[in-house]
Amino acid sequence: MIESESRDCNEGEEYVGLVDFVAEGDEQRLHLEMLSDKPRTETYRQVILSNSAALREKVVLDLGCGTGVISLFCALLAKPAGVYAVEASSMAEHTEELVKQNGCDGVVTVFQERAENLTLPTKVDVLVSEWMGNCLLFEYMLESVLLARDRWLKKGGMMWPSSACLTIVPCQAFSDYRQKVEFWENPYGLNFSYLQSLAQKEFLSKPKFSHHLQPEDCLSTPADVITLDMVTIQVSDLERLKGEFTFTVEKSGMFHGFTVWFSAHFQCLEEDGPSIELNTGPYSEITHWKQTLFMLDAPVSVEEGDIIAGSIRLQRNPIWRRHLSITFLWNINSTEVSTVKTKCFPMWR
């Protein structure tokens, strides 16, 4: 029998507060956050710069271009035959002005259209997009990228990113557990322990976005558990993805939960050329994604040499298609099914 730590992960539940519309002020803040993310933006710039010779006279599709920064990098650094900058939101109107302001309107053409309804003058040699969300898939912009790939990328064309990996590690989270759970034991000299179970349900049943994991809180070496090949993956594959893990605890401590992040890899256009990686993990320069923390209902003491084994499953929500649930199954130092624990986290904002 598998022991469940949480059973409130209803695949069809109607998420309160879901808003598909983004107000203009929020959109401006979003683009500011992304442009201010230097590791993210510099990675895309380096990809274009390092492939500038190979990109000459190529046609590039920048899907979900936002402010058009990647399109501008292409036009100014690589001299392609043309760049199609595609943005579904009203931001496209501002992007068109930015393209003109930077003298790139002879190369970059802006299309305000959804990928599903897109019509382009020609197929493209390269499809570039910054589609990654928290835990790689959140918001599922990847579906639009794959639809555009199937329709508009030439045979043998390049996808950027070319592949992406989901990485996890068992971790300590003393500060979060102290703030969210232990706080209720004796605030201001009062016994509020009655509220601890409510606090656990409220705070520990949801993932913590924008978590900044300190490397010293990793209990083991991180592991890539899911890898997406952007050439071969299909839209149907996104419905359910699963990865398995086996961690050897490298230092004694408290096992509070799992931390998750992703990396994206950009293959060189020239054969045997170096690839470039964007890594959002705790051992790399911090990005606006940071990491995502998934906490157990109660911490477990672990010793050096202990084995934490199990799996992670990403299940797309059948109703709210931009959202998903993430389920962890794990046990410690055992192969018995009766000792397996499971916890499911609905993931939305």
Residues carrying an active site annotation: 130, 139
What is the pairing mode between strands 223-229 and 82-86?
A: unpaired
